[in-house]
Chain A
Amino acid sequence: MSKFDGMTNAIDNWQNGLRDGLPLGIAYFAVSFAFGIYATKNNISIFDSFIISLTNLTSAGQFAGIDMITRGSAIIEVVITELVINIRYLIMSCSLSQKYDSDLPLIHRAITAFAITDEIFGVVCCQPGKVSPFYTYGIMCMTIPSWCLGTVCGCFSGTFLSKSLITSLGIAVYSLYFAIIVPPSKNDKIIRNVCIAAMVLAVIFAYTPYLKDLLPGIRILIITVSISSIAALICPVKDDIAETTAKETIKAHKEAMKVELYDE
């Protein structure tokens, strides 16, 4: 029996997703608010901005899209630009493919794939053990409406929201990143070194001539691939780590069921 069987389990996972999706929602509101302002400045209607946010759910790609719409770019340029900016999702998608059960129906994979963003990927991928698609659906229920609402509010900006409040929400994305990477770095020296190395490399990339002209998406991709490859070569993950995690999950699950039985 899969541990994700049953309606109760699905609802529990969905609720956990909603909870973890709340900070993501706050962060997304701030970013999409900025997108709404940008779109309006470029004479994109509120409805169109909303549709872009609803169908794309990505920040850099949408900003670039606005530029291309304004310039009247050729279709081939749109395809190539979006591909280059979003190519990092390819790696994230590979990594996430291993987080779901291998016998998970394709439809769940197809729907959860829509929500592969830097932040949602971070939260889902750093969950211990396998993840239920309903957890991701919970996150999606929180983040997609917030992303769209932020966009629309940004289009109307200045009329009903304090600017300083929105500015202070700018930190939300980064505090979320810290909350994802710091706890595992405390106990795992390799993960800690991976994080530090990636940060150092990111700073070097940002201030070195030529390298600093790279698109952020490409910069992230290069750093991710190089650091992860080096780490995988020097410190391959032992199979028993994965097995231990799985065993612990099952053990915890069994104990939880025992408690339920005793309660009854």
Chain B
Amino acid sequence: MMSDIRIYLVILIMAAVTYLVRALPMTIIRGEIKNQFLKSFLHYVPFATISSMILPDSLFCTASIISALAGIIVSLYLSYKEKDLVVVTFFACFAVFIVDKLLNLE
């Protein structure tokens, strides 16, 4: 373990590095990007990033793969119906809770 002061130094450095990575492009690129390729690239970035984080982790985030699947199916259905973020999240959590209770895994 580290001494108290050293812990806070490490925390400060963690925070500083994380913040700089986040803030630099945002504050440097202030104008509108005109380049066709870069513009298109940045247009697709959010969808590629988010999709790459879904599988396979979402299958193993609950007590069992069955409850995770239940949650995923509920999320897919409600998102397809274009329900609000809150609604989708609430019902997905509820579905997982119920399935886990039924399977008696807790």
Residues of A at the B interface (CB closer than 8 Å) are 19-20, 22-24, 26-27, 43-44, 48, 51-52, 55-58, 61-62, 65, 68-70, 72-73, 75, 78-79, 82-83, 86-98, 102, 104, 106, 109-110, 112-114, 116, 118, 121-123, 125-126, 163-165, 167-186, 190-191, 194-199, 201-203, 206-207, 219-220, 223-224, 227-229, 231-233, 235-237, 239, 242
Say how far B30's CB is from chain A's closest CB, in angstroms. Answer: 6
A-chain residues with CB within 8 Å of residue B90 when the two chains form the complex:
23, 26
A174 to B, closest residue via Cβ: B58
Q: Give which listed residue, A61, A70, A170, A194, contacts B44 with CB less than 8 A.
A: A194
A76 to B, closest residue via Cβ: B13
B-chain residues with CB within 8 Å of residue A102 when the two chains form the complex:
30-32
Q: Give which listed residue, B18, B40, B93, contacts A175 with CB less than 8 A.
A: B93
User: Cα distance A125–B26 when bound, in Å?
Assistant: 13
A-chain residues with CB within 8 Å of residue B75 when the two chains form the complex:
171, 174-175, 178-179
For residue B5, CB closer than 8 A to chain A, the reply is: no
B-chain residues with CB within 8 Å of residue A206 when the two chains form the complex:
55-56
The B54-106 residues at the A interface (CB cut-off 8 A) are: 54-58, 61-63, 67-68, 71-72, 74-76, 78-80, 82-86, 88-90, 92-97, 100-101, 106
Q: Please tell me the number of chain B residues within 8 Å of chain A, measured between CB atoms.
A: 81
Q: Give which listed residue, B13, B23, B58, contacts A78 with CB less than 8 A.
A: B13
Q: Give which listed residue, A44, A57, A90, A110, contacts B25 with CB less than 8 A.
A: A90
User: Cα distance A52–B18 when bound, in Å?
Assistant: 12
- Asked if A93 contacts B54 (CB within 8 A), the reply is no
Q: Give which listed residue, B14, B17, B52, contacts A52 with CB less than 8 A.
A: B14
In the complex, the number of residue pairs spanning A and B with C-beta atoms less than 8 Å apart equals 319
Q: Give which listed residue, B1, B47, B55, B85, contacts A202 with CB less than 8 A.
A: B55
B60 to A, closest residue via Cβ: A170
A-chain residues with CB within 8 Å of residue B67 when the two chains form the complex:
168, 171
A-chain residues with CB within 8 Å of residue B22 when the two chains form the complex:
86, 89, 92-93, 113-114, 116
Say how far B62's CB is from chain A's closest CB, in angstroms. Answer: 5
User: Cα distance A186–B76 when bound, in Å?
Assistant: 12
